[in-house]
Amino acid sequence: MIKEKILVIGACGQIGVELTLELRKIYGGSNVVASDLRAENELLKGTGPYVSLDVMNKEMLHVQVIRQNITQIYLLAAILSATGEKNPNLAWHLNTQSLLNVLEIAKDENVRKVYWPSSIAVFGPTSPKINCPQKTVIEPTTVYGISKFAGEFWCNYFNHRYDIDVRSLRYPGLISYKSEPGGGTTDYAVEIFHDALEEDHFTCFLKEDTYLPMMYMPDAIRATIELMESPVEKISVRTSYNIHGMSFSPKEIAAEIKKHIPGFTVIYEPDYRQQIAESWPQSIDDSVARNNWGWKPKYDLATMTTDMIENLKSEMSARES
Ligand code: NAD
Ligand code: AKB
């Protein structure tokens, strides 16, 4: 049996922290090397090795892969949709070059598997709004979406041309309480919980009726690991799989939170992110992922809201005591 040694790049981000902790549970702390540009996240400290790494420095990355005998890479470093629009050139450069660096090193070294997430941001205004299918018109209008779409085809190319086992998911907006979101359009759905608990009030940067596809982080982590552990013959999509958790608007999540915090109020002050949100589908058809490797989400809006509030409340009381 091959002993896996995993490198997580971007391990201190919203997904990276939770994914690294879960991978360490499965493969053992010392077999999962966390890396990031940022200082090590508090939740990762003491759970396994950490290296400071800039994925854009290909030589440094190559040295780490050889030195640590890496067999799998999870590449999570990226600039997300809202931040990307502030510096399109940088977002394109980081999001595409980081992937090419990883894929080229995987080709030349002993890296058996690569994971790289795409996003529902690949879809644009001309894609179907409801139950957006796996294969459809894809004309993204954000630099983030363009970079993800290009990345999907680089994954497909390296799989077909060099037989690299690259796997990918098009995540919807992810909601989590352990680590903060990093500059996306769907970030409001995390911020709303913090402001509800701390201030009983939230100012939302999207209009109240803006529906977007979303997923609770435990489902996203489980989907990632289930995809990566599926037998190769079950993987038919080498660009990126649609996956869906739930779909709701700011008004609907606010109403759900109000069931727990009756005095909670929201005002709506849409900004430039409204246009990004309106370019994306409202819900996603993930039947190909369901049929290929058995994907099924567990959380809906109500169960996710209850879990978020319980966990954030216990974090707040732990901080106070
Ligand atoms: P994030 O911004 O929270 O984390 C990204 C991490 O990458 C950060 O810790 C950052 O310091 C690190 N990083 C940035 N540049 C780097 C570099 N040059 N070298 C090394 N590390 C670097 O992002 P996230 O939300 O955790 O997203 C992870 C991946 O999932 C991204 O590819 C993102 O596009 C994708 N995704 C996220 C969501 C979501 O809702 N969070 C949805 C769809 C897709
Ligand atoms: C963003 O809003 O940019 C991300 C995403 C859906 O990719 N959360």
Task: Indicate if 97 and 190 belong to the same structural domain.
Answer: no
* Among 281, 298, 110, 312, CA closest to 194: 312
197 and 165 in a common domain? no
For the chain, report the end-to-end CA distance as a whole number of angstroms. Answer: 47
The whole domain housing 282 covers 174-214+245-320
Q: How many residues does the chain have?
A: 321
Number of H helices, E strands in the chain: 11, 14
Predicted local distance difference test score (pLDDT) of residue 320: 84
- Residue 213, ligand 1, Cβ within 6 A: no
149 and 202 inside one domain: no
- For atom 10 of ligand 1, the residue with the nearest CA is 10
| Ligand 1 atom closest to residue 10's alpha carbon, by position in its atom list | 7
Short-list 178, 313, 175, CA closest to 253: 175
> How confident is the model at residue 2, as a pLDDT?
67
71 lines ligand 2 (CB under 6 A): no
Q: What are phi and psi of 51, to 5 degrees?
A: -125, 145
Tokens at 210, concatenated: 């803006």
Burial of residue 312 (number of CB atoms within 10 Å: 0-12, 13-18, 19+) = middle
Indicate whether 232 belongs to any domain. no
For 171, counting Cβ atoms within 10 Å of its Cβ (0-12 exposed, 13-18 middle, 19+ buried), the class is buried
| Domain match, 139 and 260 both | no
Residue 167: name the closest of 68, 295, 40 by CA. Answer: 295
Which of 171, 219, 240, 276 most suits a substitution to test ligand 1, by most atoms within 8 Å of the C-beta?
A: 171
Do 85 and 205 fall within a single domain? no
Q: Whose CA is nearest to atom 4 of ligand 2?
A: 184
User: In tens digits, what is the pLDDT along the chain, a chain of 321 residues?
Assistant: 568 999 999 999 999 999 999 999 999 999 999 999 999 999 999 999 999 999 999 999 999 999 999 999 999 999 999 999 999 999 999 999 999 999 999 999 989 999 999 999 999 999 999 999 999 999 999 999 999 999 999 999 999 999 999 999 999 999 999 999 989 999 999 999 999 999 999 999 999 999 999 999 999 999 999 999 999 999 999 999 999 999 999 999 999 999 999 999 999 999 999 999 999 999 999 999 999 999 999 999 999 999 999 999 999 888 888
CA 8 to centroid of chain Cα atoms: 13
Looking at the domain assignment, is residue 97 inside a domain? yes
Q: Please check whether residue 138 lies inside any domain of the structure.
A: yes
Please tell me the distance between residue 113's alpha carbon and the centre of ligand 1 in angstroms.
19
Q: Are residues 18 and 152 in the same domain?
A: yes
- Confirm whether 211 is a catalytic residue: no
Is residue 231 domain-resident? no
Q: 158 with 181, same domain?
A: no
Report whether 95 contacts 147 (CB < 8 A). yes
Number of domain units in the chain: 2
Question: CA-to-CA distance for 91 and 150, rounded, in angstroms?
Answer: 13
